[in-house]
Amino acid sequence: MVRAMNSEKSNENVPVNSWNEWDPLEEVVVGVLDGAAALTWEVGFEAVTAVEHLDRSRKYHRAMGGQAIEKLQRAPAQRELDRLVTILEREGVKVRRPDPIDHARPISTPLWSSQGGNCQANPRDVLIVLGNEILEAPMAWRSRYFEFLAYRKLCKEYFKRGAGWRAAPKPAMSHRSYDWDFKRGETYVTTEYEPLFDAADMSRCGRDIFIQRSHVTNDFGIEWLRRHYPEFHFHRVEFDDYRAIHIDATFVPLRPGLFLTNPDRPMRDKPDWLAKSGWEFVEAPRSTLPESHPWFHSFRWLSMNMLNLDEKRVIVEASEEPTIKFLKDLGFDPIPCPFRNNYKFGGSFHCATVDIRRRGELKSYF
Ligand code: ABU
């Protein structure tokens, strides 16, 4: 249900309204850490694991998958998350939270089982707001199959207040959904057996939405989106990234006319229309996370995973001084917040949130 089909002002009374990544943010869902479990090793997870970590990671997750991440272990990340909520509220944004579900127990469907689930730290991966509608993504990892449940109370509430609410077809995630012999850097682990996508593989720029073909988003999923949301133009993009998962540390629209790009992940076959669109493409500074840091190979580009409160204010990780300076030079007002302990849960500010309401309307920027 896309109400603002042209550039008329959208109805400000609607509970759900967000068309891009930069309009003034009024209401946001912030993830929670309670209930988190160590991920279970599965082929989809293997595909996005840095080669340097493969052996260690496989061993750890086979042994620990489904084990609870206890409160004490979560405490440093929890303090950062609390700080993020304080900042958002101070900046005038209404914060909503999902219901934690306990991921530390085996899950199964008639076709497969997993030692455990994941967490609800990253609502961005599961939900996307397309105009006045919330869409639940199918997801592509077995450990994430039931993650949507944490957001159902909120979705029901928004629906009752008048928002659109849709869920993509729940995938089988059977053995046919995965290429068990995928070639790192050449092919993707997800096949075309059924539609698959994570919501975080999309960057919204009004009528134009960039969607990455990745290890969690396939062409069938992109086609499903095109057929169900004809009002939008979904542009399929690919990047040189053998671990491709989610576009929000790779290709980030910061305001109309400006993309932040990842110097290690150039876009493949950038279309001519985009190159000539008049939008500027600026390379993100490298992270201050030291190369010797055990998470360096997996998480260094989370420095790009920022949250816009509007076209000026951007929440950025507090230790990323080069990024903070870079943003100031571009005319932004960066708001630093420590968040590195949250990286263990897979994301930074963009992942940890999903904007429900931004003050704005549907526009064409290209
Ligand atoms: N949504 C997290 C993406 C992380 C990365 O691409 O490095």
Percent helix, percent strand, percent coil in the chain, to nearest 5: 30, 20, 50
Here the tokens at position 180 are 């068990």
pLDDT by residue for the chain (366 residues), tens digit each? Answer: 444 433 444 455 789 999 999 999 999 999 999 999 999 999 999 999 999 999 999 999 999 999 999 999 999 999 999 999 999 999 999 999 999 999 999 999 999 999 999 999 999 999 999 999 999 999 999 999 999 999 999 999 999 999 999 999 999 999 999 999 999 999 999 999 999 999 999 999 999 999 999 999 999 999 999 999 999 999 999 999 999 999 999 999 999 999 999 999 999 999 999 999 999 999 999 999 999 998 898 999 999 999 999 999 999 999 999 999 999 999 999 999 999 999 999 999 999 999 999 999 999 999
| DSSP run (H or E) holding 313 | strand 313-317
Q: How far apart are CA 151 and CA 119, in angstroms?
A: 12
Q: Which residues surround ligand 1 with Cβ inside 6 Å?
A: 200, 245-246, 248-250, 301-302, 305, 347, 351
Report the separation in Å between the CA atom of 157 and the middle of ligand 1, taken as the mean of its atom positions: 30
Spatial CB neighbours of 133, under 8 Å, sequence gap ≥ 6: 1, 2, 16, 163, 164, 165, 166
Residue closest via CA to ligand 1's atom 4 equals 249
Residues 357, 362, 365, 366: is their CA dihedral positive or negative?
positive
Q: Please, what sign has the CA dihedral across residues 267, 273, 274, 275?
A: positive
Distance CA 26, CA 166 (A): 22
Residues designated as active site: 198, 246, 351
Which one of 252, 302, 340, 345 would you pick to mutate in the ligand 1 pocket, going by the greatest count of ligand atoms within 8 A of its CB? 302
Residues 128, 133, 134: CA angle, nearest 5 degrees: 40
Q: Which of 141, 240, 246 to mutate to test the pocket of ligand 1 (most atoms within 8 A of CB)?
A: 246
Q: 3-class SS at 148?
A: helix
pLDDT at 1: 45
For residue 339, the 8-state DSSP code is -
- Tokens read off for 83: 């700080």
81 three-class SS: helix
What pTM value is reported for the model? Answer: 0.96
Give the residue carrying structure tokens 């708001």.
335
Instruction: Please report the pLDDT score of residue 13 as a whole number.
Output: 78
Question: What is the Cα–Cα distance from 118 to 254, expressed in whole angstroms?
Answer: 29
pLDDT of residue 12: 59
Closest CA to 221 of 231, 230, 234, 208: 234
The alpha carbon of 286 and the centre of ligand 1 are apart by a number of angstroms equal to: 14
Cα angle 283, 250, 342; round to 5: 110
Work out the burial of residue 132: count CB atoms within 10 Å of its CB; fewer than 13 is exposed, 13-18 middle, 19 or more buried.
Answer: buried
Sheet-wide strand order for 164-167:
127-130, 133-136, 164-167
C-beta separation of 286 from 322 below 8 A? yes
